[in-house]
Structure 1
Amino acid sequence: MYIRPVHAEHDLPTLHDFIRSNPLGVLTTAIESSTHHFLQSSHIPWLLDEGGEKGLGVLRGHIARANPQAKAIIEDLTAGASRASAPQLHKDVLVLFTGPAQHYITPKFYTETKPATGKVVPTWDYAAVQAYGRATLFVEPADPRTDAFLARQVADLSRFAEGTLMGYERPWSVDDAPENYVALLKKAIIGIEIEITDIAGRWKMSQELSAGDREGVVKGFEALGTPLACDMAQAVRERDELAQARKKAEA
């Protein structure tokens, strides 16, 4: 992802908050295979834990064993991997998270520059976070480590989604389902744990524009009146306010 300095976000708490608010990330792998595509991607809901060797965090997820990407992953695992540790992929993986507020920006919004020079073109505003890391896999159903990882993963993910995302006072729990049914389903998935080695965000929310054009973007979205447009107007304002606050703090 190309990240211009004006759009870059490197504040770790901000990046972590974004991931937790938008947990459906796209896992991308590049794996040499004679039977599967070299590049594969899957949408996976992730949990983010603090820590990791670099202190950038650890992502936890799971994927269907029948998924072609999972099959390529399993093929890539070191054949002679030590049983003392769970196998890892040879190459880093990428997980991309995007925010729900994204929209086309018409040059008509640039109420300052367009009338003055006409030197304006369309663009697209959005926010995204990319995380690179080394993936550890939990694939062997008979391995106690796989069972422990998947048991924790599905329970934690359900608790997070039911409580944090849905806000239920009496959330659904994995324990509400028959134990043998859950055990059967766990055999159909593999666990993925990614220690983040590099993470960055891009908030492209018109902050590179002049004050007049940026206000034109906000008013343009407000005039559209759709829920998405209103979210975009708010996002542009918030990013501008954050940029101004950071400038004052650095002064």
Structure 2
Amino acid sequence: MYQPPHFREDRLEVQHALIRTHPLGLLVTLGSTGLVANPIPFVLDALAPPYGTLKAHLSRANRQWQDFDPAQEVLTVFQGPEAYITPSWYAAKREHGKVVPTWNYAIVQAYGRMTIIDEPAWLLQQITAMTEDQETARPEPWAVGDAPEAFVAAQLKGIVGIEIEITRIEAKWKVSQNRSDADRLGVTAGLRARQDEASQQMAELVETRGAPRGS
């Protein structure tokens, strides 16, 4: 990933936080027909060395779990907040007009070897953990145990598990760090005026992280 120094994010706890908040990762593997990519929800085991382990499952009918090169790294991409940034928000537009549009975003890319796991107990644990992650905040959370045991057992036969031990991880927070204070204020105001959730999330990032660390 192209990594200008002022956009890099090397803190593992920050990278992990984005994965937890945006767990639907794009799993990219190399198979006999070339590159294959599928969006997959992951559960992160942050304590596993060296950088954590990603756990998920695939439909047994999805050939990605069979047709990949175990000797090669796989890539999982986690996309955080993103937003189009119009140059009309920049103070610099009014000053000299030498501005262009851009896109702000936060993203994590995790690399590692993928292992296939076809064990009912592991699969039950994985889907339970994934469900709890998403359901806990609901007033009346649904649990895997709410479904009939025989039904759950039948569903488990239709999936296979995957584990990816993260061997390297990269992250990029491109949130207007390269703009002046006045331009960042304009970006924040423009994003706030949009009122949609994605724009509000990006406005928060620009406010809290827009200036380069140490500036």
The reply to whether TM is greater than 0.5 is yes
> Whole-Å Cα distance in 2 between the matches of residues 23 and 172 of structure 1?
19
Q: Which residue of 1 aligns with 2:187?
A: 217
For structure 1, which runs of at least 5 residues remain unmatched after alignment? Answer: 77-88, 140-145
The reply on whether 1:45 has 2:57 as its aligned counterpart is: no
State the 1:212 CA deviation: 1.2
Deviation at 1:11, TM superposition (A): 0.3
What code does the residue aligned with 2:201 have? D
Higher strand proportion, which one?
2
After TM superposition, the structure 1 stretch with the greater mean CA deviation from structure 2, 200-209 or 220-229, is 220-229
Find runs of 4+ consecutive structure 1 residues off by over 4 angstroms.
Answer: none
RMSD of aligned Cα (Å): 1.9
Distance 1:239 1:18 in 2: 15
Give the alignment's TM-score, normalised by structure 1: 0.79
User: SS in structure 2 opposite 1:66?
Assistant: coil
**TM-aligned CA deviation for residue 154 of structure 1:** 1.2
Normalising by structure 2, report the TM-score: 0.92
Paired with 2:196 and 2:130, the residues of 1 have a C-alpha distance of 32
Identity of aligned residues (%): 43
Shift of residue 90, structure 1, vs aligned partner:
1.8
- Alpha-carbon shift at residue 170 of structure 1 (Å): 4.4
Which stretch of the first structure deviates more once superposed, 19-28 or 222-231? 222-231
2:121 maps to 1:148: yes
For 1:31-55, what per-residue CA distance to the aligned partner results, in whole angstroms no more than 9, with x for missing partners? Answer: 2x2xxx311111111111123342x
- In 2, the alpha carbon distance for the partners of 1:228 and 1:13 equals 22
Larger Rg: 1
CA drift of 1:63 comes to 0.7
Q: Secondary structure at the match of 1:196?
A: strand
Q: 1:91 aligns with which of 66, 72, 75?
A: 72
Within 5 A, what are the aligned runs for 1:60-209?
60-73=55-68, 89-99=70-80, 101-111=81-91, 113-139=92-118, 146-163=119-136, 167-168=137-138, 170-209=140-179
Cα distance in 1 for partners of 2:154, 2:84 equals 45
